[in-house]
Amino acid sequence: MIRIGTRESQLALWQANLAKSELEKLGYQAEIIGISSTGDEVLDRPLHQIGGFGLFTKTLDNAMLRGEIDIAVHSLKDVPTILHEKIAQAAVLKRANISDVLVLKTNTDFLKNQENAIIATGSLRRKAQWLHKYPKHTITELRGNVNTRLQKLIDNDWNGAIFAAAGLERIELLPKNHLMLDWMISAPAQGTIMATALKADAEILEICAQINHKDTEIAVAVERQFMKTLEGGCTAPIGGNAKITGDTIYFKGILIAINGSEKVEVEKSVPLSKWHSLGKICAEEVLNNGGRKLMESIKAEMSK
């Protein structure tokens, strides 16, 4: 029996059950073990103030190191680019929708008129890109699982709230009243489910390799390499999307000031065979074109 560890939110359980069903299709038996994390329990402070990147994964890492679970299933965008020394990426599943989506309170009139509006999000990346496009708007903090955040939108006098489209679509909670934000560059690895296992557990690693989706693995590796080279986590306003078309891989990345006032973008394509260094090359281009100074100012603001 393969023991699958997961957070206990509806979305996290959905993702873990998808991995479970993929393993069961191959003839393996698996069970779900729900584990609560600090990130799920502390909802009254911004994510970057209570641990930031890796907050949702540490509890599952510890359960694995104690031998309580065999694999852990995560939203890959929540996973640090450097894993615990005893833990390895075992598989990534085929990617879902990478887009961010604005769930609307009523209508989009506030966008057309460029009037004052209140938009909710707990993501600095979303905040920064929104303020770059709509500098007159106000961003308010939004934390909690998907269900909690949707309820907060209902309960508060906001114009809308930003979510990852994949999460809402997976658990069939995407309201009809929404707007896909095709212009917003999503988080590295957004829309991707990842399984980790102990490096020493050769049998589990071999089993998980059978549910790995190679194109997704390559795309998210480029995106995470871009983020790692910029020295940013989920608490830094960094976006990155890689896409494979035929024998070519395309990448678009962004580093943006928290208040949206400055941004540095990069866009590049290379033959698929040269994907290994694409993220690093793009990040270095951003750093050399003003990104290094911008990252310093972001870090200074974050430390206040």
Which DSSP string corresponds to the chain?
A: -EEEEE--SHHHHHHHHHHHHHHHHTT--EEEEE---HHHH--SS-GGGTT-TTTTTHHHHHHHHTTS-SEEEEEGGGS-SS--TTEEEEEEPPP----EEEEESS-SHHHHTT---EEE-S-HHHHHHHHHH-TT-EEE---S-HHHHHHHHHHS--SEEEEEHHHHHHTT---SSEEEETTSPPPTTTT-EEEEEETT-HHHHHHHHTT--HHHHHHHHHHHHHHHHTT--TTS-EEEEEEEETTEEEEEEEEE-TTSS-EEEEEEEEEGGGGGGHHHHHHHHHIIIIIHHHHHHHHHHHT-
Is 78 an active-site residue? yes
In the set 40, 70, 78, 201, the catalytic residue is 78
Catalytic residue list: 78
